[in-house]
Structure 1
Amino acid sequence: MGNIVSRKEVAELAGVSEATVSRVLNAAGPIKEDTRRRVLDAANQLGYVPSALARNFARSKSGHLGVVMPYVPKAHLFSAYFFSEMLSGIGSKARDSGLDLLLLFRKPGEEMDYSGLFRQQKIDACIILGARDDHDELEALKRIQEEGRLFCVMNHHFEGQSFCEVDADHVEGSRMAVSHLIEQGCRRIAFLNGPDIYSNSIERLKGYRTALQEAGIEYDHELLLEGNYSRRSGLEASATIADRLNDIDAVFAANDRMAIGVMQGLRERGVEVDRFPAFVGYDDSDAAEMAVPPLSSVRVPLYEMGELAASKLIPDSPDLIPAMELTGCTSIRQLLSTKLIIRESSIRQ
């Protein structure tokens, strides 16, 4: 290794252009995996790559577990119980394994370039929160699956795909909530759901309809209201509910924030608490216990979901799914159980 090896020699040995060698060594732009490997092998064989860089290439590790966060307009993301609990679970598992979390925030209307994040060695594995049914998102995930990358989708289900997914059983959670309201004597149960671009919303609606069907109550789409999981959308829905208090005897909301928004809106319209419909929320956030009256809610094991998602991706974990096994498997979706926590808001003596 007395002579200094030139980039040209690496290019000749690898059978590529000097520009390609440059792109591979600088991790810039899209490169086919076999081309990248050929260039790195040639560079290592000739002793071209500096030793520290060579070690990195050989390890192909950044030490980062990427976590993709959803775009949430005008919301204090980390005050949202939902995300902070999941992140705590992910972070706990990552910390135990000596990995750092790299938080990646979506921008409105921007496609996430997952492939680029892996290719540039910014992340070793990726957990995706806040995914939605969107063509570009699905294509980007299929691309990294084909590349054999390690990733896990949390709290969303892509029908017909074989992605690694960790979620809670929202059909059963929703069914339990509505069955409880029916047991309390409620028949006209309004359902304030989130947008149907989220699989959770579709699953909660399925649970709502199942509970009604089991009790022989006819489904009435007039009782279905749509929010966007924000407290403000609950406030807005409260106008409809306040006008129909003679018709609506219970409200099931797809998260606690919306349920609390409806309660606040009813109070602002002068509705006394003893005239409130029965309420059940979802997530069992800290705010549920502090609501007036205390809010019955479906407890989702968000922290455990975060731990499980991270454990599927972190090496030396018993739950490790090797990257290549992600391709072609039929189903690797794991659902955790939910639990109904009953408080004063839903009790009807």
Structure 2
Amino acid sequence: MKNISIIDVAKQAGVSVTTVSRIINNVDYPVAAKTREKVLKVIDELQYTPNKAAQGLKKKFSDIIGLIVRDISDSYFGEMANGVTNRASELGYLSFVCNTGRNPEDELRYHEHLWQHRVKGIILAGGGLDQVDYKKKLENQLLRHEKYGLKIVSLAPQGIEIPYVMINDFDAGKKVTDYLIQRGHKKIAFMGGPSKVFTSIERLKGFKAAIDAAGIEYNKNYITSSDFSQKGGYEAFSSLISKVSDLTAICCANDNIAIGAMSAIREHGLSIPKDISIISIGDIKEARYTTPPLTTLTIPHYEMGQMAVDVITQWKEKVEITLNTSIFERSSVRVLDN
């Protein structure tokens, strides 16, 4: 069977070789969406990849592991990246860290780049988006990777069936909420991440389940969302406090949101935990240095990264691993007098 060339792709798609090249290399040049879709379909049908036919991908992969992260500047992802890169190096693999800046289109492009480089596996750090088009494209990538033996592992929920090494985000949301309820809190707010990100969706579901089990009435005014940043947490609290004034505690979907909220709480003349208790999820390194130190759910970020590399390099079967979490008690939550 002859090797498939870029000329074959162009001929079957009915476009120029230049157009195919622009699409393959993601050149900053306008190409009609229908044309791009048609060319990518032909590329898949012909099993074409630059410099190497896809038939060869079935049998041979490079000693490279790709890690796609949403925000490498976030300690949450930084610790995962450390686990991946260190473990990969120990096993003799090279690792690429691809930072998407939380842009889903960039993420999907990285899948293509890593595929073209014949990586051994791809690790996804960060929850997927609850958007039909995004999920469909990600699922197509996954199906193609699996077809040719390229392994993929997720460190967060993606909304599709995918091998994973992660925590139970529903359980995480429920666990931190239960912690507050057990300490006498009933006026509890939830400050989530982006409403379309599955990580945030699952943690909010856990929060709702905990207050429902405790017989606490759900109040949508106690729920707010932002991005997973300190700036997002700061702005979310300012919005929240303008709607409700009787809060005693806040659950935050991650530590960065909590750190930003803590700053806003102090600017509003309130004390932590005397006036408002606060708890979050993640236990990033900054959590121990807040004022007061932040009570948070510990996630084994580094170990998750290590284990994902082991799954790619040493496991043959599909893997679904859920890791345990625990609450690290510091000084940001107080027990209410009943």
Q: Shorter-normalised TM-score: what interval?
A: 0.7 to 0.9
Partner of 1:126 in structure 2?
122
**Contact map agreement 1:153 1:166 (CA 8 A) in 2:** yes
- Post-superposition Cα deviations, 1:298-338, rounded to whole Å, max 9, x if no partner, equal 10111111111111001xx3xx12xxx55xxxxx4221111
Give me the whole-angstrom Cα distance separating, in 1, the residues matched to 2:109 and 2:80. Answer: 20
Q: Residues 346 and 19 from structure 1, CA distance in 2 versus in 1: closer, same or farther, beyond 3 angstroms? A: closer
Give me the whole-angstrom Cα distance separating, in 2, the residues matched to 1:152 and 1:302. Answer: 14
**Contact map agreement 2:272 2:292 (CA 8 A) in 1:** yes
1:89 CA displacement: 1.3
Range moving further from structure 2, 302-311 or 245-254: 245-254
Partner of 1:259 in structure 2?
258
**Contact map agreement 2:278 2:333 (CA 8 A) in 1:** yes
1:240 CA displacement: 3.2
- How many corresponding residue pairs? 295
- Post-superposition Cα deviations, 1:150-206, rounded to whole Å, max 9, x if no partner, equal 1112212324x2x21121122222212111111111101000011132221121112
**Contact map agreement 1:192 1:224 (CA 8 A) in 2:** yes
1:346 CA displacement: 0.8
Give me the whole-angstrom Cα distance separating, in 2, the residues matched to 1:100 and 1:272. Answer: 48
1:297 CA displacement: 0.4
Q: Residues 100 and 219 from structure 1, CA distance in 2 versus in 1: closer, same or farther, beyond 3 angstroms? A: same
- Post-superposition Cα deviations, 1:12-63, rounded to whole Å, max 9, x if no partner, equal xx3567777999xxxx964768789xx98xxxxxxxxxxxxxxx98972322
Could you tell me which amino acid in structure 2 is paired with residue 342 of structure 1? Answer: E
Q: Residues 275 and 225 from structure 1, CA distance in 2 versus in 1: closer, same or farther, beyond 3 angstroms? A: same
- The unaligned stretches of length 5 or more in structure 1 are 1-13, 41-55, 327-331
Q: Residues 32 and 182 from structure 1, CA distance in 2 versus in 1: closer, same or farther, beyond 3 angstroms? A: same
1:228 CA displacement: 0.8
**Contact map agreement 2:191 2:224 (CA 8 A) in 1:** yes
Work out which of the residue numbers 86, 103, 110 in structure 1 matches 2:80: 86
Q: Using CA pairs below 8 Å that are at least 6 residues apart, which structure has the higher relative contact order?
A: 1
Give me the whole-angstrom Cα distance separating, in 2, the residues matched to 1:128 and 1:153. Answer: 5
Give me the whole-angstrom Cα distance separating, in 2, the residues matched to 1:303 and 1:19. Answer: 41
**TM-score between both structures, scaled by the size of structure 2:** 0.77
Partner of 1:223 in structure 2?
222
- The unaligned stretches of length 5 or more in structure 2 are 11-20, 25-42
After TM superposition, list the pairs within 5 Å mapping 1:118-157 onto structure 2: 118-121=115-118, 123-133=119-129, 134=134, 135-157=136-158
Give me the whole-angstrom Cα distance separating, in 2, the residues matched to 1:234 and 1:96. Answer: 38
**TM-score between both structures, scaled by the size of structure 1:** 0.75
Q: Residues 170 and 34 from structure 1, CA distance in 2 versus in 1: closer, same or farther, beyond 3 angstroms? A: closer
1:244 CA displacement: 5.7
Larger Rg, first or second structure (1 or 2): 1
SS in structure 1 of the partner of residue 61 of structure 2: coil
Partner of 2:30 in structure 1?
none
